Amino acid sequence: MAGETVLVVGGAGYIGSHTCLDLANKGYRPVVFDNFSNGHREFVRWGPAEEGDIRDRARLDEVLAKHKPAAILHFAALIEVGESVRDPVSFYENNVIGTLTLLSAAQAAGINAFVFSSTCATYGLPQSVPLDETHRQVPINPYGRTKYIVEQALADYDQYRSLRSVVLRYFNAAGADFEGRIGEWHQPETHAIPLAIDAALGRRQGFKVFGSDYETRDGTCVRDYIHVLDLADAHVRAVEYLLKGGDSVALNLGTGTGTTVKELLGAIEDVSNRPFPVEYIGRREGDSHTLVANNDKARDVLGWVPQYDLSEIIRSAWDWHAKSNQH
């Protein structure tokens, strides 16, 4: 499959840009399609960029005709859970209507290999841990619901329109390119590791922990942190799987290892050697106490096994944020 063009929609963002890096390293030609509302032009380094919005069918048709990609990787979503509660309309317009427009353009261009960036938020509150792909999907916020709606649409496109897809449900993406070329850069930042690192760097006054009385080993929430380069590798494997004729499938992307918030903060202090203030406050509505992936299916279907542990995640993130001027 090397040499094929892959359209990376949202490829100037965090996970999309790392996937472009991995695609290029494996001989593909990544073409970034992004409106740059959240992505960064500086992150487009491994192929051409085409500016446009996924709700703009004419622009999509133009780009697809120009580059003739063999597959589409779709990362272009609004992702902040709290913002989805405050402004659900924007999430439905971008994440649902935009994706359906993209799918229609893909179909018209004869593309039937589609990799979708989804989320463990489609599961809602866990009924059992670790979560596997058979766990019920009852999302508890507009963000999760928009992703779930697209998953349902993709199942119908597969059954009735012969568009094959791989749905990848992320757990907690983290870390950065080990050479420091790209990394996590959100505005505003809402993810735990960058926020804690910024506290250690003195860029913010401290770190707030939401809830210390959960039924976990130290009272704080448990999350499954997966290195962004492991996520990128899974996406490239998903493209290869589809181009070889693989059937539509949904897969969890996580390590299978849970880390509490207290453990995470301790690991960041160990790497940085810079203690920082931590404040424990009340629980945040909608937070699950434990989210950990069962990743057996991704291993079986894609041959995917995460390569990086928590210390490597934090070290790469620390190196990126410590040298970054994007603050």
38-53 per-position pLDDT tens digit? 889 999 999 999 999 9
- For 99-118, the pLDDT digits (tens) are 999 999 999 999 999 999 99
Burial (0-12, 13-18, 19+ Cβ within 10 Å), 193: buried
CA distances from 46 to 27, 72, 105, 215, 284 (A): 11, 16, 24, 45, 39
| pLDDT-based confidence at residue 284 (cuts at 50, 70, 90) | confident
Residue type, 68: K
Residue 326 confidence (pLDDT): 56
User: Nearest to residue 265, comparing CAs of 170, 171, 199, 211?
Assistant: 199
Q: Mean per-residue pLDDT for 129-135?
A: 96
pTM over 0.75: yes
Active site residue ranges:
143
Residue 82 confidence (pLDDT): 81
**Per-residue pLDDT for 285 more than 80?**
no
Q: Residues for the chain: how many in total?
A: 327
| pLDDT-based confidence at residue 292 (cuts at 50, 70, 90) | very high
With a CB cutoff of 8 Å and minimum separation 6, the contacts of 265 are 196, 207, 209, 278
Residue 188 confidence (pLDDT): 78
Q: Mean per-residue pLDDT for 273-294?
A: 90
d(CA 89, CA 210): 27
Mean pLDDT estimate for the chain? 94
Residue type, 311: S
Residue written as token pair 């496109």? 157
Q: Mean per-residue pLDDT for 255-278?
A: 95
Q: Which domains does the chain have, with CATH numbers?
A: 5-174+226-253 (3.40.50.720), 192-223+256-292+307-324 (3.90.25.10)
Interstrand relation of 259-260 and 222-223 (parallel, antiparallel or unpaired): antiparallel
Residue type, 160: Y
